[in-house]
C-alpha cells in the first residue's frame, strides 16, 4: 500500500522535489498537531470560546468602573471621565454580549441534557443553537482579549533577525547557518520579502559567525519576536568522526525594523544628536587618498551613550553600508529601550513572572529523534525536516503565540 501510494505521488510531484516527498509527508502523520476536520464541527473546543477567569474578572472590574462613570457623568460633565467612558464603552458592550451569550448557553445545555423521549427533537435543536452561540462567543472572546491585552508597540513593524553561534565551535556555526536558512525558507513559504544584510562565513566556510536577515513584511516582528533567544541542537555533527551526539547552541536576536527599508542615510542620521554616534571607517593605515585604491567600504558606528557598536561591510557603496548600520543601530536601541521598560514594569509587580520574550534555551532541535521541542510552551513536533525547510514552522509559531497570549493574560491580574 505504502509503495503504491509512494509511486503515485511520484507521478504527481514534480521531479525537482521528489527527494523531499518522503520527508515532507510521513512525519506529519506522527506529529502531535491537532487536526481539525473540514466537516461541520461536532463541538468547538472549550478554550476557543471560554474566556479565562482572569480576563473575566478584569472585564467585570472594568464594567463596574464604567457603571460608576456613567452615574457620575449623569450628574456632572467631566472631560477626562468622558474620555475614559468612551474608551471603555466597546469593551463593556462586548463583555455584556458575552455574559448574555454565556447565560443562554447554560440554559440550552440544560435543555440538551434532557433525556425523556418527548424532548428529543428539542434536544437536537438546542445542540444546533449551542453551536451557533459558541461561534459568536469565540468571536467575542477574541475581541475582548484584544482590548484587554495591549498590543506590542512594535507589532506592526518589519523585523531584523541576527544570528550568532553559541557554544559548540564549528558545529555551532553550521547550526547557525541552518537556522538562518530555516527562517529564509519560512519567509519564502509565507511569500515575505527579505534580504540578507550581513553574511559572515566562518573560517572554513561551512557555517557562519554572523548573519543578519531583514524581513520587510509589516507585522513580521510580531510573528517572530518570540524567536529571539538560545536555540539548542542535538545531533551527530558532520565534523564528528566517532558518531557521538553533540549539543550546540545558536543565539537569535529579533529586532523591530524602524526605518522601513529606507536606505537614505541622511534621514537616519538626523534622528541622532550630533556627537551621539561616532562613525569610523575601518581601513588599513597608510597614505590613503590617491596613493591607494581600496574596495573596502566598511563602516562602523559606535553609539557613545550605550556603547552599542554596529559594523557593516557587505556593500560596495560606503553610504549603503552606513545606512544599513544606522538601521540596525536604531533597531537595537529601540529594543533596548523597550526591554528596559518591560523590566521596570515587571519589577513594579508583586510577583515575578517568567519573561515572555527571551528565556534561556527556548527550543531544542533533536536530529536523532526527528524532534523539535519548544521549552516555553512544552510543545513537541516530530517533523524536523519540515521545520527546517520552513513549511512546518508555522504550527510551532502558532503554539508559541498561544502560549505568549496566555502568559500575558496571567500577567494581567498583576496590573
198-217: contacts with other proteins (CB under 8 A): 200-201, 203-205
What is the Cα–Cα distance from 259 to 160, expressed in whole angstroms?
11
Residues 131 and 216 sit within 8 Å (Cβ to Cβ): no
Q: How far is the CB of 235 from other proteins (least distance, A)?
A: 22
Q: Work out the number of other CB atoms within 10 angstroms of the CB of residue 76.
A: 7
- In the complex with other proteins, the residue whose CB is nearer, 286 or 307, is 286
- In the complex with other proteins, the residue whose CB is nearer, 321 or 364, is 321
Question: Computed over its alpha carbons, how large is the radius of gyration of the chain?
Answer: 27
What is the Cα–Cα distance from 21 to 10, expressed in whole angstroms?
8
Which uninterrupted H or E stretch holds 280? strand 277-281
- In the complex with other proteins, the residue whose CB is nearer, 327 or 377, is 327
**Interface stretch with other proteins, choices 108-116, 179-187, 277-285, 301-309 (CB under 8 A):** 277-285
Residues 412 and 55 sit within 8 Å (Cβ to Cβ): yes
- In the complex with other proteins, the residue whose CB is nearer, 313 or 369, is 313
- In the complex with other proteins, the residue whose CB is nearer, 196 or 342, is 196
Distance of CA 317 to the CA centre of its chain: 33
**Interface stretch with other proteins, choices 78-86, 94-102, 241-249, 308-316 (CB under 8 A):** 308-316
279-298: contacts with other proteins (CB under 8 A): 279-281, 283, 285-297
Chain position carrying cell 557555517: 207
275 binds other proteins (CB under 8 A): no
What is the Cα–Cα distance from 340 to 311, expressed in whole angstroms?
24
Cα angle 23, 27, 28 (rounded to 5 degrees) comes to: 120
Q: How far is the CB of 295 from other proteins (least distance, A)?
A: 5
Q: Could you tell me which residues are beta bridge partners of residue 256?
A: 159
- In the complex with other proteins, the residue whose CB is nearer, 22 or 292, is 292
Report strand pairing: 246-256 vs 229-235.
antiparallel
196 binds other proteins (CB under 8 A): no
Which uninterrupted H or E stretch holds 200? strand 194-201
Q: How far is the CB of 286 from other proteins (least distance, A)?
A: 8
**Interface stretch with other proteins, choices 124-132, 312-320, 374-382, 385-393 (CB under 8 A):** 312-320
Binding test (CB under 8 A) with other proteins, winner from 234, 315, 401, 413: 315
319 binds other proteins (CB under 8 A): yes
Q: How far is the CB of 192 from other proteins (least distance, A)?
A: 22
What is the Cα–Cα distance from 227 to 157, expressed in whole angstroms?
15
Q: Could you tell me which residues are beta bridge partners of residue 381?
A: 372
Q: How far is the CB of 287 from other proteins (least distance, A)?
A: 5
Q: Which of 205, 172, 208 is nearest to 196 (CA)?
A: 208
Per-residue contact track with other proteins, 238 to 267, x per CB under 8 A?
--------------------------xxx-
14-33: contacts with other proteins (CB under 8 A): none
Q: How far is the CB of 309 from other proteins (least distance, A)?
A: 16
Q: Work out the number of other CB atoms within 10 angstroms of the CB of residue 392.
A: 24
Binding site for other proteins (CB under 8 A): 200-201, 203-205, 264-266, 279-281, 283, 285-297, 313-320
Amino acid at each position: 500500500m505504502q509503495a503504491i501510494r509512494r509511486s503515485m505521488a511520484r507521478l504527481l510531484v514534480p521531479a525537482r522535489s521528489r527527494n523531499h516527498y518522503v520527508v515532507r509527508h510521513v512525519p506529519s502523520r506522527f506529529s502531535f498537531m491537532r487536526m481539525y476536520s473540514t466537516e461541520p464541527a461536532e463541538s468547538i473546543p472549550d478554550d476557543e470560546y471560554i474566556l479565562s477567569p482572569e480576563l473575566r474578572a478584569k472585564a467585570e472590574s472594568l464594567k463596574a468602573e464604567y457603571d460608576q462613570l456613567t452615574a457620575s457623568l449623569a450628574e456632572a460633565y467631566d472631560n477626562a471621565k468622558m474620555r475614559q467612558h468612551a474608551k471603555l464603552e466597546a469593551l463593556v458592550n462586548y463583555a455584556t454580549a458575552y455574559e448574555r451569550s454565556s447565560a443562554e448557553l447554560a440554559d440550552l445545555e440544560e435543555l440538551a441534557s434532557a433525556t425523556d423521549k418527548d424532548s428529543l427533537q428539542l434536544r437536537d435543536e438546542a445542540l444546533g443553537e449551542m453551536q451557533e452561540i459558541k461561534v459568536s462567543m469565540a468571536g467575542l472572546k477574541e475581541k475582548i482579549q484584544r482590548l484587554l491585552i495591549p498590543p506590542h508597540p512594535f507589532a506592526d513593524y518589519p523585523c531584523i533577525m541576527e544570528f550568532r553561534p553559541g557554544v559548540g565551535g564549528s558545529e555551532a556555526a553550521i547550526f547557525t547557518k541552518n537556522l538562518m536558512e530555516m527562517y529564509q525558507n519560512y519567509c519564502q513559504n509565507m511569500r515575505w520579502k527579505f534580504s540578507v544584510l550581513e553574511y559572515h562565513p566562518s573560517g572554513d566556510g561551512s557555517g557562519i559567525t554572523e548573519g543578519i536577515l531583514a524581513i520587510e513584511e509589516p507585522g513580521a516582528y510580531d510573528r517572530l519576536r518570540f524567536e529571539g533567544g538560545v536555540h539548542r541542537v542535538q545531533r551527530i555533527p558532520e565534523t564528528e568522526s566517532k558518531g557521538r551526539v553533540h549539543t550546540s547552541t545558536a543565539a537569535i536576536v529579533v529586532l523591530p525594523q524602524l526605518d522601513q527599508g529606507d536606505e537614505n542615510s541622511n534621514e537616519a542620521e538626523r534622528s541622532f544628536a550630533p556627537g551621539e554616534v561616532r562613525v569610523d571607517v575601518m581601513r588599513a593605515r597608510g597614505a590613503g587618498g590617491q596613493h591607494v585604491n581600496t574596495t573596502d567600504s566598511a563602516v562602523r558606528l559606535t553609539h557613545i551613550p550605550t556603547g552599542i557598536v554596529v559594523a557593516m561591510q557587505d556593500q560596495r557603496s560606503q553610504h549603503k553600508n552606513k545606512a544599513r548600520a544606522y538601521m540596525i543601530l536604531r533597531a537595537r536601541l529601540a529594543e533596548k529601550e523597550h526591554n528596559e521598560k518591560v523590566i521596570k514594569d515587571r519589577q513594579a509587580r508583586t510577583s515575578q513572572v517568567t519573561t515572555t520574550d527571551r528565556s534561556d534555551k527556548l527550543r531544542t532541535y533533536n536530529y536523532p529523534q526527528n524532534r523539535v521541542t519548544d521549552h516555553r510552551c512544552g510543545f513537541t513536533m516530530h517533523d524536523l525536516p519540515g521545520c527546517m525547510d520552513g513549511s512546518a514552522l508555522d504550527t510551532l509559531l502558532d503554539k508559541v503565540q498561544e502560549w505568549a497570549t496566555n502568559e500575558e493574560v496571567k500577567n494581567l491580574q498583576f496590573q
